[in-house]
Structure 1
């Protein structure tokens, strides 16, 4: 008779798959490294196939392991939701979320009524970080931040793949008489976010490399960059998250179809302890569902 895997083993494997290491999984689950390894071995013995394989000094998932990780996550989510539905407790309390200003202004603040309708007894506070990428505020329960995903000892989850592409206002586009070839952009007012990297990478992907970018305006937040682009002050690098609403309303256009995947992304960051709180988990679950729909729509474009 086939035995079912234990939830402890599934949680251990899901954490390994998500975090990329046994050590990180052990830290998140408050278990020893050997205990997590033991649970992984038990699960592999039960299934009859390897879930992970050594990759240098670390490990990666096997082909079967990748598929099983997706299924394990679904099972754990179902079990968690079943326990929440049966515990008779409504989601209440205060929840403080720190969000990058650009994402908050152009995306998150347009969606919040759906959360408050679903969880009317949660007092939600939205704040902005002291500086880009800051996750040091101990009063914040959950950070939605932009970066490379490297926050040791934290619960970290990527929200959505970010695609980068030039955007400008229709007025600016027509004022220039069109933009022609991407090489023409180096002579036009470019708007930058925290440096020239995004523009250099996009231009290189479009056959424009080894160029000297001179002038332009550098902003500290996507909020400022996009506001300047909408006001017709130049051409910015937009993305499918921050720029989506402005593109849909015709405030911005994409003068070139070519997009590139950003080396950075928006992430959810919190502590392993806080993610277990009902109000935090509920917001994360709501946000992931919202973004899953947004990703699906974007992939079809």
Structure 2
């Protein structure tokens, strides 16, 4: 962009050309008469053009000055409008949150409406992916990740909560039957991963018939299969708790298994902690506390 005269020069000339008086222009801009005169002389020297014709009792604008004043007036009005719009419209801050599909769908998303009502000026964006990848290669403000907390590319991390595995089924599974022994559970069609069912069978002290297992590596698919009454599943408490509370799913065993990984909030290395990120982290900790309080009120079977 070409070098421009100072804004003060332009404002001084615009005021004098409009008012026809150095004195009135000085009063409008809250400066001295001599200051206005100096700004006009500096502008004329910069342009190499005479903008004003000075007479004893009045000031008239030259033809060059008249045309220039019209353009300056339009430009100053554009600046004024842009400044007013920026000051009166709050900044639309964006917060990018990265997390797993199952956690986003069944724990975070149902609670996010509360955050949006509290902070409507913050635009939320969820990055949902099974493959979390390298923290240093992703573009987000905060991640909610599952693991042991050992992330070298994390500038800040905080434990949210530990999880456990529940055996669940649709509320009307097998005509709404309420009680299943652990042995009866593994004799029904079972869904989820082989590894987690092995953990549960070891805890329940039952042998696991692998031929009855349908392995599924996506919790959202598992939930849909449960809704359709296609079997029982071993799922993370964080994924199914709200569905159990709503009567969509039911727990069918008091045998639970501690999940080896926890949920953490993670800020990637090199990421500046923005005010909206701090607000989200504080809100997230409050939601975790509410969730854990609800868990304390939950009765098993």
Shorter-chain TM-score: which interval?
0.5 to 0.7
What residue in structure 1 maps to residue 164 of structure 2?
A: 163
Aligned equivalent of 1:299? 296
Would you say the 8 A contact 2:190–2:231 is kept in 1? yes
Unpaired runs of 5+ residues, structure 2, are: 1-89
Answering whether residue 239 of structure 2 is matched by residue 247 of structure 1, we say no
Q: Distance in 2 between matches of 1:263 and 1:191?
A: 19
Give the structure 1 partner of residue 125 of structure 2. 125
- Residue segments in structure 1 that go unaligned for 5+ positions in a row: 1-89
2:180–2:253 contact (8 Å) kept in structure 1 = no
Alpha-carbon shift at residue 127 of structure 1 (Å)? 2.0
Count of residues paired in the alignment: 207
Separation of aligned partners in 2, 1:135 and 1:285: 25
| Offset at residue 208 of structure 1 (A) | 1.5
Change beyond 3 A, Cα 1:279–1:273: farther
Change (3 A) 1:91 1:112: farther
**How large is the RMSD of aligned CA atoms in angstroms?**
2.3
1:162–1:183 distance in 2 versus 1, CA, 3 Å: same
Q: Which has the larger radius of gyration?
A: 2
| Corresponding residue of 1:99 | 99
CA 1:274 to 1:119, structure 2 compared with 1: closer, same or farther past 3 Å?
farther
Change (3 A) 1:142 1:221: farther
| Cα distance in structure 2, aligned partners of 1:104 and 1:147 | 16
| Conserved 8 A contact 1:91-1:279 | no
Partners of 1:204 and 1:295 lie apart in 2 by 27
Q: Note the 1:206-217 alignment, pairs <5 A.
A: 206-209=204-207, 211-217=208-214
Moved over 6 A (4+): none
* SS of match in other structure, 1:171: coil
Normalised TM-score (structure 1) = 0.62
User: Residue 206 of structure 2 aligns to a residue in which SS?
Assistant: coil
Query: Aligned runs of 1:50-199 on 2, under 5 Å?
Result: 93-129=93-129, 131-136=130-135, 138-154=138-154, 155-174=156-175, 180-192=180-192, 195-199=193-197
C-alpha displacement at 1:225, in angstroms? Answer: 1.4
The 3 A distance-change label for structure 1 pair 274 and 164 is: same
